[in-house]
A and B are shown apart, each in its own frame.
Chain A
Amino acid sequence: MNAGRQTTRRLAPRTGPSSICRSCRDTISRTYASAAAAAVRTEDQIAQHIPPVAQVSPSTSYAVNTGVVLSRPPQITRDLHPFEAAFFLYQRRLNERLALPFTRYFYFKKRTPADVEWKRKMRQRLTPARDIGRYKGYGEEAWNDELLVGADESNFEHQVGKLLEDAEQSGLEGAADTTGATKVDHEPVDKPMPRVTEADRQHDTKSLNRALQRTLYLLVKNKDGQWQFPQDRLKEENLHGAAKRIITHTGGVNMNTWLVGRVPIGHHQLDYPEPRPSGNLQEHGAKTFFMKARIMAGQVNLKENQLDLQDFKWLAKEELKNEVEGSYWRSVKNMLAER
């Protein structure tokens, strides 16, 4: 160790403090420390081995990029698995058997219109629940309390339709009008919007009203015609600072976005076929670190984008697989949510 330090000391004045930087000098001292015993004898040879400054600093480098995985969260609940839907219906019908009877007078005052209407409807459908069909848990037919396979009641649309029908009707539709009273106009019931939208049917990949059950990811087409997440070279900034800048540079300011945390959710390394010169270094590839962001409102506008982007798409995970390159897909697939 002593010998090594001596070597360093002897080397330092020879090379001069101005011609070689400190970190390089440290590197040299460390490299030759083990061979110190030999170095003491052959100082002149070592001096010849010191390379010029330009080559001492590492000649290789990688471009460091930040990518932004801008996603629209799911808007509606997922479709139930067929087994799940069947099981829930089975349990709800069993509940009709196991729950206490509906205590009408606790909820409706006697002889009020609501009470009368409830009694009327109950007489028609014979089961308190409005959407799961007739349930007979007692009596001679008690064994026959299960629905058959493929019954209408197991259909989600049918259940929704039954609920709407119950809200719209008063139970007097079939009865003959004996009172001669004027017909009462009811306020129309708001029907829910369909779960499959117009954009779904037209497969409008620019629309954010599409695939409402899924997370949609923003994919852009760069100037080379490749589809990938919006990305840019890192300047003197943090990853999350760069991510905010990239979002604005890609889609303009009219997007309500939120950057989720400061930790990258994934990375992709691209190795160039041959190194490209960058300054006095040779770039061997590019490393991209992906930051996660959410979009809450607004839409991408590529008109004034500063990243030379040509086009954009909002795609779900499986659709994304068909657009991007194979190696890119293998890097990003693990960080994307299934749903």
Chain B
Amino acid sequence: MNLSTFRPIFRPYKKPPTTPKPRQPIRPAQQTPQHHPFSSTTRLQKRSKKSSGTDPRITNIRYHLSHPLTPRPLHFSRTRSLRHWTIHRAWLLFLRKRRAAEERELERQYMSMRSACEHLRLMDGNGNRVTEEEGGGQGPDPARLGAKGREVGRLYRSAMLKRGVWGSVPVEYGRLVTDFPAREGWNYAWSAR
């Protein structure tokens, strides 16, 4: 017969009794004094020589985390489980539509940036459009010059420089978007000096 059925759910953790080991010589590395040892044990408990083995706080946490009243499994009726399934499917559909919409929005913004950059790349000093051969490089080698030389795509090359772009991200971006606005509202009184 399995006796574990009758055991209480919670038992204080105790090590199995072991034969006392011969005392090991203390190595020099352990003799270095530690003024702030890393330990969560209270000073008083540490001082008392007869340690019970287990921290009572750990006992407490273990006791409360294993609640005897574990929720029983959900048993839905036929219609109720069908309803639950429908709700779940509708939620997945909703998520998919929203994600697709977000992706489309990102794509629109990206294509807008891309076409602006293409116009910059194929634009000479007078703002005229040049042909692909006369324009410079794109993508990984924006610094490559085309047949017409430096005058074509000057603004494009300066826009592609990445040096210092992340140097000045303002600290205000650390503010999270909250459910309710700030009490004082928008800071109109900000001044540069």
Chain B binds chain A? yes
Q: Are A197 and B128 in contact (CB under 8 A)?
A: no
Interface contacts (Cβ under 8 Å), in number, total 173
Q: Size range of the interface on A?
A: 35 or more
Which segment, of A6-14, A69-77, A222-230, faces chain B?
Answer: A69-77
Q: How far is the CB of B156 from chain A (nearest CB, A)?
A: 9
Q: Are A266 and B185 in contact (CB under 8 A)?
A: no
Q: Which of chain A's residues have a CB closer than 8 A to the CB of B64?
A: 103, 105-106
Which residues of B (170-192) have their CB < 8 Å from a CB of A?
170, 172, 177-183, 185-188, 190-192
Q: Which of chain A's residues have a CB closer than 8 A to the CB of B169?
A: 258
Residue of A nearest to B107 (CB): A334
Check if A135 is an interface residue, CB within 8 A of chain B. no
Q: How far is the CB of A253 from chain B (nearest CB, A)?
A: 4
Q: Which of chain A's residues have a CB closer than 8 A to the CB of B100?
A: none
Q: Are B109 and A334 in contact (CB under 8 A)?
A: yes
Q: Are A238 and B127 in contact (CB under 8 A)?
A: no
Check if A16 is an interface residue, CB within 8 A of chain B. no
**Beyond the given A87-B94, A255-B190, could you list 17 further A-B residue pairs with CB under 8 A, ordered by the A residue number?**
A23-B148, A60-B128, A61-B127, A76-B177, A262-B158, A262-B161, A263-B117, A264-B117, A281-B126, A287-B123, A289-B120, A290-B116, A296-B190, A297-B186, A298-B188, A335-B108, A335-B112
Which residues of A (158-199) have their CB < 8 Å from a CB of B?
192-195, 197
Q: Which residues of B contact A (CB under 8 A)?
A: 60-61, 64-65, 67, 69-72, 74, 77, 80, 87, 90-91, 94, 101, 105, 108-109, 111-113, 115-117, 119-120, 123-124, 126-128, 148-149, 155, 158-161, 165, 168-170, 172, 177-183, 185-188, 190-193
Cα-based distance from A195 to B179 in the complex (angstroms): 8
Known contacts A76-B178, A105-B64: A263-B123 contact under CB 8 Å = no
Q: Are B116 and A209 in contact (CB under 8 A)?
A: no
Check if A56 is an interface residue, CB within 8 A of chain B. no
Q: Which of chain B's residues have a CB closer than 8 A to the CB of A240?
A: 158-159
Which residues of A (73-98) have their CB < 8 Å from a CB of B?
74-77, 81, 83-84, 87, 90, 94, 97-98
Q: Which of chain A's residues have a CB closer than 8 A to the CB of B91?
A: 83, 87
Known contacts A87-B87, A101-B67, A296-B172: A76-B123 contact under CB 8 Å = no
Check if A337 is an interface residue, CB within 8 A of chain B. yes
Check if A318 is an interface residue, CB within 8 A of chain B. no
Check if A150 is an interface residue, CB within 8 A of chain B. no
Known contacts A143-B77, A264-B120: A238-B87 contact under CB 8 Å = no
Cα-based distance from A234 to B158 in the complex (angstroms): 14
In the complex, 9 of the A-B residue pairs with CB atoms within 8 angstroms, ordered by the A residue number, are A64-B123, A97-B74, A98-B74, A103-B64, A197-B181, A254-B190, A262-B161, A287-B119, A338-B105
Residue of A nearest to B164 (CB): A262
Cα-based distance from A266 to B119 in the complex (angstroms): 10
Cα-based distance from A265 to B178 in the complex (angstroms): 27
Q: Are B109 and A192 in contact (CB under 8 A)?
A: no
Q: Are A75 and B182 in contact (CB under 8 A)?
A: yes
Cα-based distance from A94 to B71 in the complex (angstroms): 12
